[in-house]
Every structure is written in structure tokens, then in C-alpha cells.
């Protein structure tokens, strides 16, 4: 099993935050937003408003979300975050 920790700069177009391998079991992903602005998480079509508005991860907060095998989690912001202000942490049996 491998522990995966990555940091991202989230901009105004969706950024891939986490990929759960096809053979991995259900996995909890921790998302930390260490920026002053909220980000929004969801699938590849995630936006900051409207019908595809994602789940809000507010500034200075930690959120947990459970993802299934094969899932991909994306993040987007109305205003780009600071460099590496968003972090994710999860484990994978089949990490590359």
C-alpha cells in the first residue's frame, strides 16, 4: 500500500487532484485548502457556479470525500490559488 500526498495550484480550469486505481477499494481522500479562497471539487465538468458547481472546500479547511475504484476528483477555483495551496492525501494499493 502506498500513501499519496500531493500539492496543487488550483486555477480557473479543472485540475486533476486524485485518481483512484480501477482495482483499489473505496478510498477516503483528504483535501486541504490552505488558500484564502474557496475551491470547488467534482468531476471533470466541475465549475464554480451554475448547474455544474462543485462541492465547496472553503479556505483554511480540511474535507474528506470517499471515492470508488476508477474515480477521478477535480478541483477548480474562481480565482487561482497560491502555489501548492491545495493538498490531497490518500492511500492506494495499486499506486504507480
What tens digit of pLDDT does each residue of 14-62 get? 999 999 988 889 999 999 999 999 999 999 999 999 989 999 999 989 9
**CATH 2.60.120.770 for the 2-92 domain, yes or no:** yes
Taken in order 60, 30, 83, 14, is the CA torsion positive or negative? negative
Please tell me the pTM assigned to this model.
0.92
- For the chain, the domains span 2-92
Check whether 96 has a pLDDT greater than 60. no
Q: Which residues contact 29 (CB under 8 A, 6 or more apart)?
A: 17, 18, 20, 64, 65, 66, 67, 73, 88, 89, 90
Amino acid at each position: 500500500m502506498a500513501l499519496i500526498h500531493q500539492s496543487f495550484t488550483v486555477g480557473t480550469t479543472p485540475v486533476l487532484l486524485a485518481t483512484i486505481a480501477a482495482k483499489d477499494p473505496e478510498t477516503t481522500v483528504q483535501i486541504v485548502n490552505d488558500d484564502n479562497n474557496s475551491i470547488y471539487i467534482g468531476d471533470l465538468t466541475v465549475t464554480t457556479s451554475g448547474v455544474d458547481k462543485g462541492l465547496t472546500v472553503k479556505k483554511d479547511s480540511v474535507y474528506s470525500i470517499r471515492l470508488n475504484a476508477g474515480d477521478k476528483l477535480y478541483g477548480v477555483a474562481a480565482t487561482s490559488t497560491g502555489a501548492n495551496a491545495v493538498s490531497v492525501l490518500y492511500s492506494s494499493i495499486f499506486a504507480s
